[in-house]
């Protein structure tokens, strides 16, 4: 048995970042992880493998759609699926081993196994109880179940995101249930690889919560890429059928019943916090009505000395939000002032084009009764986007009507996931749209579109 200053439960982006920061601040730290490899959902079955498949399938799409237009001639590129899965696995392994290296470098113990919290200050792993001054729960999340649907990733017919990242072969057809980020990213992958993809969504718009104009444009672009959408549809069940499965749904507008057949059905209806087996009930750690661990402003649970972060607590289920909380809670435990600005957490969808957003949408600002101005600039007016044959989207900047302070930004277009950070930094500094408009941006870059949207909040954009 060892005694620690901090035991972190879970080695996802929340847990491993928390452990590293705590070790850097001089604490003796261990991380309990039950998975075979470090990195949690994100590195093993989430952000990283999905981005590897998005990257490879995007390049394939480019060869088929745009190469000839650019004068790049040659044999039609085909897919070796097993090799692509191998590339994905190597990408994952490179990253998970990287975390092992960082643990060694920072003298963090990896306690292999599943943790049970026996009491504040006591964590049991296997037969050993470890003592610690503080505990951070970073146990993450798992895919939510959908009533009437049984997922079997091994069978590879009705799968969740984990199964969809490792299908035995590229299906000819796929139904994706849920038009959120994960469903659309993975749906895009298989559409580019040749599958006929239909997305069935309960709500009347894709990517719930996003800016309305972005939602519409995004659906239009994805439709042009071959994805089909059935919106306002409540899935009532999925049954195995010959050569795949049958998805039954009811259209909410008129209660009519329909069904769709597909070789593979991906259930992507969200994720739920994972706290099973930790013993929280017996400890009296309070949960919200949706099963998240309740925390105060310093990430402490209802039990002193036990903290919680990441997907296990309320807020956006994003790796970088978990990381920020990991750093902040480590600082709080070390006696410093950890801080997370929840108003400036970007969200990115890594399709082509990418979609990125931060802060208030036009709809949410208006619902709050705020007086706003909107500066919009289309990538059609951006030379670099045109050269890249990706001029379909736009940048939309939301600023306060009186003070000009930036309240939010929504981008659909090339490099959106990188460009959004300029706006995040500006928002962190409390910048006005005019501050961005007055900042010289290199030409030709897609970032110029952000400046143009800022100019559009004032006297007007130039290239429209
Ligand atoms: P997790 O990463 O879920 O890690 C928790 C870890 O805790 C797990 O490894 C688990 O084994 C371990 N654990 C749980 N209980 C115990 C226990 N009792 N004992 C020991 N170990 C335990 N987010 C983004 O920001 N960008 C993206 O591009 C993105 N893409 C995604 C794509 C997919 C397909 C999926 C599924 C998710 C994606 N996410 C993305 C979400 C992101 O993965 C999560 O928000 C993030 O992993 C949450 O981090 P976490 O540290 O809270 O938990």
Contact 38, 96 (CB under 8 A): yes
Q: Closest ligand 1 atom to the C-alpha of 311?
A: 52
- Residue with the nearest Cα to atom 32 of ligand 1? 46
* 317 labelled binding-site residue: yes
How many Å lie between the centroid of ligand 1 and the Cα of residue 43?
A: 8
Q: Which pLDDT band, with edges at 50, 70 and 90, does 84 fall under?
A: very high
Query: Could you say which of 64, 339, 443, 463 is catalytic?
Result: 443
Q: Closest ligand 1 atom to the C-alpha of 320?
A: 25
How many Å lie between the centroid of ligand 1 and the Cα of residue 308?
A: 14
Task: Tell whether domain 4-143+272-334 is in CATH 3.50.50.60.
Answer: yes
Task: Give the chain's mean pLDDT.
Answer: 97
Cα separations (Å) of 334 from 3, 21, 23? Answer: 16, 10, 10
- Residue with the nearest Cα to atom 21 of ligand 1? 33
Cα separations (Å) of 440 from 113, 329, 403, 448, 450? Answer: 53, 37, 22, 9, 11
Pairing of strands 228-231, 196-201: parallel
With tokens 């807020």, the residue in question is 315
Q: Is the pLDDT of residue 214 over 90?
A: yes
Of the candidates 461, 396, 407, 462, the one whose C-alpha atom is nearest the C-alpha of residue 432 is 407
Q: What is the ipTM score, two decimals? A: 0.99
Q: Closest ligand 1 atom to the C-alpha of 310?
A: 52
CA pair distance 124, 146, nearest whole angstrom: 33
The whole-model pTM stands at 0.97
CA pair distance 453, 362, nearest whole angstrom: 14
Q: Is the pLDDT of residue 2 over 90?
A: no
Cα separations (Å) of 25 from 18, 21, 56? Answer: 11, 6, 39
Q: Closest ligand 1 atom to the C-alpha of 41?
A: 2
- 443 has catalytic annotation: yes
pLDDT of residue 345: 98
* 201 labelled binding-site residue: yes
Task: Tell whether domain 158-269 is in CATH 3.50.50.60.
Answer: yes
What are the residue boundaries of the structural domains of the chain, listed by start? 4-143+272-334, 158-269, 346-457
Contact 299, 307 (CB under 8 A): yes
Q: How does pLDDT run across 368-391, given as a tens digit for each residue?
A: 999 999 999 999 999 999 999 999
How many Å lie between the centroid of ligand 1 and the Cα of residue 140?
A: 5
- 3 forms beta bridges with 131
pLDDT of residue 75: 81
Pairing of strands 158-159, 173-177: unpaired
* 183 labelled binding-site residue: yes
Which class for 18: exposed (0-12), middle (13-18), buried (19 or more C-beta within 10 A)? Answer: buried
* 70 labelled binding-site residue: no
**Among 11, 13, 37, 41, which is best to mutate for testing ligand 1, by the most ligand atoms less than 8 A from CB?**
41
Is residue 181 classed as helix, strand or coil in its secondary structure? Answer: helix
CA pair distance 111, 125, nearest whole angstrom: 7
Give the binding-site residues of ligand 1, using a 6 Å CB cut-off. Answer: 9-15, 32-35, 40-42, 46-47, 50, 114-115, 138-141, 161, 182, 274, 277-278, 310-312, 317-320, 322, 350
3-state secondary structure 208-247: CCCCHHHHHHHHHHHHHCCCEEEECEEEEEEEEECCEEEE
Q: How does pLDDT run across 152-209, given as a tens digit for each residue?
A: 999 999 999 999 999 999 999 999 999 999 999 999 999 999 999 999 999 999 999 9
Class of the domain covering 346-457 = alpha beta
Domains 4-143+272-334 and 346-457 are alike in CATH topology: no
How many Å lie between the centroid of ligand 1 and the Cα of residue 408?
A: 27
Nearby residues of 101 by Cβ (< 8 Å), 6 or more positions away: none
Evaluate the CA torsion angle 429, 434, 439, 441 in order and state its sign: positive
- Residue with the nearest Cα to atom 35 of ligand 1? 46
Evaluate the CA torsion angle 279, 282, 285, 290 in order and state its sign: positive
* 462 labelled binding-site residue: no
Q: Closest ligand 1 atom to the C-alpha of 271?
A: 36
pLDDT of residue 455: 98
Q: Which pLDDT band, with edges at 50, 70 and 90, does 9 fall under?
A: very high
Q: How does pLDDT run across 327-340, given as a tens digit for each residue?
A: 999 999 999 999 99
pLDDT of residue 1: 59
How many Å lie between the centroid of ligand 1 and the Cα of residue 454?
A: 35
Is residue 366 classed as helix, strand or coil in its secondary structure? Answer: helix
What angle is formed at CA 51 by the lines to CA 50 and CA 56, rounded to 5 degrees?
Answer: 100
Which class for 282: exposed (0-12), middle (13-18), buried (19 or more C-beta within 10 A)? Answer: exposed
Q: How does pLDDT run across 234-254, given as a tens digit for each residue?
A: 999 999 998 999 999 999 999
Q: Is the pLDDT of residue 443 over 90?
A: yes
* 179 labelled binding-site residue: yes
């Amino acid at each position: 048995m060892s005694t620690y200053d901090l035991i972190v439960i879970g080695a996802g982006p929340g847990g491993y970042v928390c452990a590293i920061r705590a070790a850097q601040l001089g604490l003796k730290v261990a991380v309990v992880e039950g998975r075979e490899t470090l990195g949690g959902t994100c590195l093993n079955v989430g952000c990283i493998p999905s981005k590897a498949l998005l990257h490879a399938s995007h390049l394939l799409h480019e060869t088929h759609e745009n190469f000839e237009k650019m004068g790049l001639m040659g044999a039609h590129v085909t897919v070796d699926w097993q090799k692509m899965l191998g590339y994905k696995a190597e990408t994952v392994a490179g990253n998970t081993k990287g975390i092992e290296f960082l643990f060694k470098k920072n003298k963090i113990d990896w306690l292999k196994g599943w943790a049970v919290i026996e009491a504040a200050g006591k964590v049991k792993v296997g037969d050993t109880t470890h003592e610690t001054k503080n505990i951070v729960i970073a146990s993450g999340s798992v895919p939510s179940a959908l009533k009437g649907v049984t997922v079997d990733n091994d069978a590879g017919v009705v799968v969740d995101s984990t199964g969809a990242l490792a299908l035995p072969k590229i299906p000819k057809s796929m139904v994706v249930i849920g038009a959120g980020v994960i469903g659309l990213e993975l749906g895009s992958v298989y559409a580019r690889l040749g599958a006929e993809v239909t997305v069935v969504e309960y709500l009347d718009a894709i990517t719930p919560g996003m800016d309305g104009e972005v939602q519409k444009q995004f659906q239009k672009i994805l439709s042009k890429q071959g994805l089909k959408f059935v919106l306002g549809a409540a899935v009532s069940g999925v049954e195995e059928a010959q050569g795949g499965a049958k998805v039954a749904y009811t259209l909410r507008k008129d209660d009519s019943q329909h069904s769709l057949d597909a070789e593979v059905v991906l259930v992507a209806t969200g994720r739920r916090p994972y706290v099973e087996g930790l013993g929280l009930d017996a400890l009296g750690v309070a949960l919200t009505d949706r099963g998240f661990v309740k925390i105060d402003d310093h990430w402490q649970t209802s039990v002193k000395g036990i903290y919680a972060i990441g997907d296990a607590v309320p807020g956006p289920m994003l790796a970088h939000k978990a990381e920020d909380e990991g750093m902040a809670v480590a600082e709080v435990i070390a006696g410093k002032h950890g801080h997370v600005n929840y108003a400036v957490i970007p969200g990115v969808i890594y399709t082509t084009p990418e979609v990125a957003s931060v802060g208030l949408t036009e709809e949410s600002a208006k619902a709050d009764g705020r007086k706003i101005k909107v500066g919009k600039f289309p990538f059609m007016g951006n030379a670099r986007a045109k050269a890249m044959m990706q001029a379909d989207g736009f940048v939309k900047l939301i600023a306060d009507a009186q003070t000009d302070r930036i309240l939010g930004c929504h981008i659909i277009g090339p490099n959106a996931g990188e460009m959004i950070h300029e706006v995040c930094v500006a928002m962190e500094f409390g910048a006005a749209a005019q501050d961005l408009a007055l900042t010289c941006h290199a030409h030709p870059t897609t970032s110029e579109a952000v400046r143009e949207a800022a100019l559009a909040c004032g006297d007007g954009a130039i290239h429209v």
